[in-house]
Amino acid sequence: MQNLIGQFNDVVRVLQRSKVRYAVVGGVAVAIHGGVRTTKDIDLLVHPDDVEKLVVLLKADGYVANPRSIVFRSSGMTMRRLWKRVQDQEDLLMLDLLPAEQPMHRRMLQKAVQLPWGGGQLPVVRPADLITMKQARLSKTDQVDIQVLKRETKPTANARRTRRATGQ
């Protein structure tokens, strides 16, 4: 996991320099939103006009692009997978790009929350939108993530109600 965090930070630096329109999704986003979660890959929702530009940038950073896209029938999403061999690691680092081709996914991209990260801002899909994405796939891991995300969003809603009630 420590290596994944380091690689994630490297990818974020590439993204911040590139002006690519993206938001973090998947297990990393669940962890960022407060869930205790391990993951073996990095998932990014990317504006469709920026996918090829990002693939080129990531190739320059040592990633190899899978020549074929994967289509998820349940959600209609397409995934472009890239991988990178990390020094002193047996496993490959997987990076999945999910083009925001559908209007619903473009709205998720536009409404992503900007969180402080490494001296800059990191766009992360909102918990409610992550739940929607995970409901489309609904693997066992997705089901657990949905429960975690629902729990993590309650304190925020409760805090807002408390601030309104107390006039703060």
Please give the tally of structural domains in the chain: 1
Could you tell me if residue 164 is inside a domain?
Answer: no
pLDDT at residue 137 is higher than 60: yes
**Would you place residue 154 in the very low, low, confident or very high pLDDT band (cuts 50, 70, 90)?**
low
Please report the DSSP string for 8-62 in residue order: HHHHHHHHHHHT--EEEEHHHHHHHTT-----SEEEEEE-GGGHHHHHHHHHHTT
pLDDT score for 144: 82
More confident residue, 119 or 164: 119
Tens digit of each residue's pLDDT (9 = 90 or more) over 57-86:
999 999 999 988 888 776 778 999 999 987
Tens of pLDDT, residues 25-57: 999 999 998 887 778 899 999 999 999 999 999
Q: 151 versus 54: which is more confidently predicted?
A: 54
Identify the sign of the CA torsion 109, 112, 117, 119.
positive
Please tell me what DSSP assigns to residue 36. Answer: -
Tell me, what's the pLDDT at 46? 97
pTM of the model: 0.84
- For residue 104, what is the domain's CATH number? 3.30.460.40
Residue 166 lies in a domain: no
Q: Which domain holds residue 113?
A: 2-158
Cα 79 to Cα 44, 51, 100, 151, distances in angstroms: 10, 10, 10, 28
Q: Is 90 left (phi over 0), alpha (psi -120 to 50) or beta?
A: alpha
Asked, for residue 11, whether it belongs to a domain, the answer is: yes
Q: Report yes or no on 51 lying in a domain.
A: yes
Q: Which two tokens stand for residue 131?
A: 């739940």
**What value does the mean pLDDT take over residues 126-151?**
85
Q: Name which residue leads in pLDDT, 129 or 160.
A: 129
Q: Would you say residue 165 has pLDDT above 50? A: no
**Within a domain: 116:** yes
- Examine residue 59 and state whether it is found in any structural domain, yes or no: yes
| Residue 92: per-residue pLDDT | 86
How much is the pLDDT for 167? 39
Does residue 117 lie in a domain region?
yes
The residue with greater pLDDT, 164 or 42, is: 42
Tell me whether residue 122 is in a domain. Answer: yes
- Quick: pLDDT tens for 89-131: 677 889 999 999 999 999 999 999 999 998 889 999 999 999 8
- Does residue 11 carry a pLDDT above 80? yes
